[in-house]
């Protein structure tokens, strides 16, 4: 009986560690610096974007709007990532707490889509290119 309990405990511990490692390795395709021009659908405006990903840190800058912050991950897999956008600088210039979806198009390009929180309607999009 003690051996069975020990085996069960070991399996539970392994099950909790493996998914965390899998999430990290699945999102490695997003590491690096990405740049492009965003397009705001509802008001026909454009702005520059720069996403810097280092490990589990997702830093976003909107240089032409003079604001930035971070993206907090909700889910990550081998070709898609979902985030909540948190603006930490110049809150008046950028929307906050919206939903971001990133899809891998190739090794050098990703697609960005943005919707306000609580809405599934995409109001902004971009193609971002990996910088060397």
Band of the pLDDT at 88, cuts 50, 70, 90?
very high
What domains can you pick out in the chain, each with its CATH number?
2-131 (2.40.128.380)
* pLDDT over 60 at 68, yes or no: yes
Per-residue pLDDT, 95: 87
Q: Which residues contact 116 (CB under 8 A, 6 or more apart)?
A: 95, 98, 99, 123
Per-residue pLDDT, 81: 97
Per-residue pLDDT, 113: 98
Band of the pLDDT at 13, cuts 50, 70, 90?
very low
Question: Model's pTM, two decimal places?
Answer: 0.78
- Rounded CA-CA distance 72/127 in Å is 20
- Rounded CA-CA distance 127/132 in Å is 16
The whole-number average pLDDT for the span 73-95 is 93
Query: Could you tell me which residue, 11 or 29, shows the higher pLDDT?
Result: 29
pLDDT digits (tens, 9 = 90+) for 19-58: 443 344 567 899 999 999 999 998 999 999 999 999 999 9
- Rounded CA-CA distance 110/13 in Å is 35
* pLDDT over 70 at 75, yes or no: yes
Band of the pLDDT at 92, cuts 50, 70, 90?
confident
């Amino acid at each position: 009986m003690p051996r069975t309990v020990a085996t069960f405990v070991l399996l539970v511990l392994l099950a909790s560690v493996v998914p965390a490692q899998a999430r990290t390795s699945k999102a490695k395709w997003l590491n690096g610096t990405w740049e492009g021009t965003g397009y705001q659908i509802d008001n026909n405006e454009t702005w520059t974007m720069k996403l810097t990903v280092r490990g589990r840190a997702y830093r976003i800058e909107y240089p032409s709007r003079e604001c930035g912050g971070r993206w907090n991950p909700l889910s990550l897999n081998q070709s898609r990532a979902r985030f909540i956008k948190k603006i930490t600088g110049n809150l008046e210039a950028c929307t906050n707490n919206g939903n971001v979806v990133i899809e891998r198009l190739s090794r050098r390009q990703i697609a960005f889509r943005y919707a306000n929180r609580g809405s599934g309607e995409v109001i902004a999009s971009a193609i971002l290119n990996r910088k060397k």
